[in-house]
Chain A
Amino acid sequence: MATLELRDLRKSFGPVEVVPGVNLDVAEHEFVVLVGPSGCGKSTILRMIAGLEEPTSGDIVIDGAVVTQREPKDRDIAMVFQDYALYPHMTVAENMAFALRYRHVKRADIRRRVSEVARMLEIEPLLQRTPRQLSGGQRQRVAMGRAIVRDPKLFLFDEPLSNLDAKLRVQMRTELRKLRDAVPTTTIYVTHDQVEAMTLADRIVILNHGRIEQIGTPEDVYDTPATAFVASFIGAPAMNLLPARLDHRQLRLEDGTVLPCPLDGARDVLCGIRPESLVWSTQPSGPCLHGTALTVEPLGADTLVTFLVGDTEIAARLPPRSIRRAGEALTLMLDPAVVHVFDQETGQRI
């Protein structure tokens, strides 16, 4: 178990600065998820923590010791890779025992630890198979087993679920969550899937172009996104961002709708409305958005509907069978208290 600090960590590949200075403190036992779109630098940060990439500047501190110049093997970390990186010429048991053999652990201890972890992950019957004889989910478990058996200070996960099909991904996410409670090691987990981030993390770090947009608990980043980028990244479907004019405690949308607002001043803003904040009713009252359904996606438990407000297409999550087909007129109520306001130029929350 350990703490992790990133101090002004930077990485450039030639003239391209991929990570322009990241500061992060991770507490003992904490499960931190780095999330962001492809190319935002999250895997590069993870690889720098692992020692697989050398930072251009800055420091990595594990458990109080600066490890920036240390070899990966001397950092006491374990990593689960996107493609699992299991040695194809070794059995599952050999894969799991491999790192321990090079750490001069006694054979009897290796056997015991491999057996314990295999039992925990329910992969005991697979121990004598080679990776090519395993399914995607089984490989995933073995990769996790190989990391757990090391009992490292720090776990690093690099998009471990991204190669699985949708159903298996949901199943493995649940298992990862259980595992997180069973093995409370400090963990950095990289993903581009915000659902994974929300369900697994103690804290989420949202990255955009290598910069941290926001650090917070899943509830924080969902309820009070710090920037328009975070607002549009967290949540499925994403938050609707409508151009509007803030004019002395009033928000005037493109279509002329006026919403009350506690903010003073006058400027152009982005008005953020979560799809689930729009309320369908047969007798609407108070501030409402009016439109005509463009698309209707019945999902069983709810229905996703898109419609136009001014020139902007927005999404709403409505009760099942509330709207049946595209072209129907709809009026949705909106509680002004759940409207998020962002500066249109900087994207910062106001």
Chain B
Amino acid sequence: MRKLWWRHAALIVISIIMLAPFYWLLKTAITSENIYEYPPHLLPVRPQLFNFVDVWYLIPFPRYLFNSIVVSLIAVAGNLVLNAMAGFALTLPFVGRRSVIVLLLSCTLIPFQATIIPAYLITAHLGLLDSYLGLALPLLSTIVCIFIFKASFDAVPRSLIDAARIDGLGEMRILLRVMLPLSTPAIATNIVLSFIWSWNNFLWPLIITRSQDMQTLPLGLARFLSYMEDTTGALYAFVVMVLAPGLLVFLMAQSAFMRGLTTGATKG
């Protein structure tokens, strides 16, 4: 019991350390307090929401928000469809399966920056520069998420797949009607990870967007910095507005997300 108490105390301290920057961010966003002010105020002094209103009107925030949502939704949809199919394929026996798995895993070692030029050229050849699909293209399928689906599908008893085959289902229907309904944690994990990766993506949108109308929130943040001087409060308000949807998605799918990440880690 005493051991458990110390563990909880340690976790509370670590949580406070982790959450402190978020608290500071929110506090500054609603107070415009100078971050170098000494001594700093622990509690917000004269809180107000003007900074959020400024951000909304001073830059085309709604447009950036809309672009980010569209691109993230395309990325999430792509990840769900393509990763589920790829993950299922990797659970089936076929010649060269091991090699494909090794190849995919080794690809995770290649940083995106190393493939950005070929990715740009391919996107340009497809005529997708400065388009929503082009913005989402590199994140339409992610190897980590393929393996999250694979681990989840591996945990489904083989007899269920056999039963489905005898019941008359083809491979696609087995995936849709049997595997996916039993893999909600993997689905949640795919949604959370692909949404957050797409939402936070800066480099790729910077390279392939040409018009301001197609820019996403991270680019908008950079643009905002170049517009404004003494932007502390507004800048922090912008950051809060950028972070909020990602946090919301994560909190909504939190428990399933955790189960998805640990699928296959323990027996049973």
Contacts and interface: CB of A to CB of B under 8 A. Distances in A.
Contacts of A51: 165-166
Given A83-B157, A89-B181, A102 B167 contact: yes
A72 B165 contact: yes
A82 interface: yes
A236 interface: no
A167 interface: no
Nearest to A158: B159
Interface stretch (A73-81, A188-196, A276-284): A73-81
Nearest to A47: B162
B188 to A, nearest CB: 15
A79 B178 CA distance: 17
Contacts of B164: 87
A73 B159 contact: no
Contact of A88 (B166, B167, B173, B182): B182
B169 interface: yes
A73 B166 contact: yes
B116 interface: no
Contacts of A52: 162, 165-166
Contacts of A98: 167
A73 B167 contact: yes
Given A52-B162, A85-B163, A99 B168 contact: yes
Given A79-B166, A99-B168, A85 B182 contact: no
Contact of B159 (A78, A85, A89, A99): A85
Contact of A87 (B160, B162, B165): B160
Interface in A89-138: 89, 98-99, 102-103
Nearest to B166: A72
A206 to B, nearest CB: 25
A99 B157 contact: no
Nearest to A50: B166
Contacts of B168: 73, 99, 102-103
A50 B159 CA distance: 12
Interface residues of B, number: 15
A113 to B, nearest CB: 15
A85 B157 contact: yes
Nearest to A99: B167
Nearest to A98: B167
Q: Which among A50, A99, A103 has the greatest number of chain B C-beta atoms within 10 A? A: A99
A71 interface: yes
Q: Which among B159, B163, B165, B178 has the greatest number of chain A C-beta atoms within 10 A? A: B163
Nearest to B156: A88
A52 B181 CA distance: 23
B59 to A, nearest CB: 46
Contact of B165 (A71, A78, A88, A103): A71
Contacts of B157: 83, 85
Contact of B162 (A71, A79, A89, A102): A79
Interface string A40-54: 000000010011100
B162 A73 contact: no
Contacts of B173: 102
A81 B159 contact: yes
B93 to A, nearest CB: 11
A78 B169 contact: no
B182 A81 contact: no
A87 B178 contact: yes
B53 to A, nearest CB: 47
A140 to B, nearest CB: 14
A114 to B, nearest CB: 14
Interface in B165-187: 165-169, 173, 178, 181-182
B178 A78 contact: no
A85 B164 CA distance: 9
B152 to A, nearest CB: 14
Q: Which among A71, A82, A102 has the greatest number of chain B C-beta atoms within 10 A? A: A102
B162 A50 contact: yes
A99 B159 CA distance: 15
Contacts of B182: 88-89
Contacts of B159: 81-83, 85
Contacts of A87: 160, 163-164, 178
Contact of A77 (B160, B166, B178): B166
B163 A81 contact: yes
B156 to A, nearest CB: 9
A83 B163 CA distance: 11
Contacts of A50: 162, 166
Contacts of B160: 85, 87
Nearest to B180: A89
Interface of B: 157, 159-160, 162-169, 173, 178, 181-182
Interface of A: 47, 50-52, 71-73, 77-79, 81-83, 85, 87-89, 98-99, 102-103
20 contacts: A51-B165, A51-B166, A71-B165, A72-B165, A73-B166, A73-B168, A73-B169, A77-B166, A79-B162, A81-B163, A82-B159, A85-B159, A85-B160, A88-B182, A89-B181, A99-B166, A99-B167, A102-B168, A102-B169, A103-B168
List the 4 shortest-distance A-B pairs measured between CB atoms, nearest first: A99-B167, A73-B168, A85-B159, A85-B163
Given A89-B182, A102-B168, 12 more contacts: A51-B166, A72-B162, A72-B165, A73-B169, A83-B157, A85-B157, A85-B160, A87-B160, A87-B163, A99-B166, A99-B168, A102-B167
